[in-house]
Structure 1
Amino acid sequence: MSKTINLVKLSVGTETVKNLADWQVSPMTQTRDGLPRHITRMWPKRGEELLNGGSIYWVIKGVILCRQRVLRLDEVTGADGIRRCAIVSDPQLVPVAATPKRAFQGWRYLQTTDAPPDLSQARPHDDALPPELQAALANIGIL
Structure 2
Amino acid sequence: MLNIIKLAVGCPSLEVLRERMAHPRINGHGAVPTRTMPRRADEVLDGGSLYRVMDGMILCRQPIIGLESCQRSDGSTGTLIVVSDEIIPVQPRPMRPFQGWRYLDPKDAPPDLGNGLTQDGIADLPPQLRRELAELALI
TM-score normalised to the size of structure 1? 0.85
1:62·1:135 contact (CA, 8 Å) conserved in 2?
Answer: no
The list of structure 1 runs, each at least 4 consecutive aligned residues, that deviate by more than 4 angstroms after superposition, is none
How is 1:47-62 mapped onto 2 (pairs within 5 angstroms)?
Answer: 47-62=41-56
Q: Which residue of 1 aligns with 2:8?
A: 11
Q: How far has the Cα of 1:10 moved from its partner?
A: 0.5
Amino acid at match of 1:76: C
- 1:17-72 CA distance string (max 9 Å, x none): 111011112xx3211x2210011111101100000000000001100010000011
User: What is the identity percentage for the equivalent residue pairs of Structure 1 and Structure 2?
Assistant: 38
Tell me the secondary structure at the aligned position of residue 95 of structure 1: strand
- Return 5+ residue gaps in structure 1 as ranges: none
Q: How many residues align?
A: 133
- Return 5+ residue gaps in structure 2 as ranges: 118-123
Tell me the secondary structure at the aligned position of residue 137 of structure 1: helix
TM-score normalised to the size of structure 2? 0.88
How is 1:21-100 mapped onto 2 (pairs within 5 angstroms)?
Answer: 21-25=18-22, 28-31=23-26, 33-100=27-94
2:65·2:83 contact (CA, 8 Å) conserved in 1?
Answer: yes
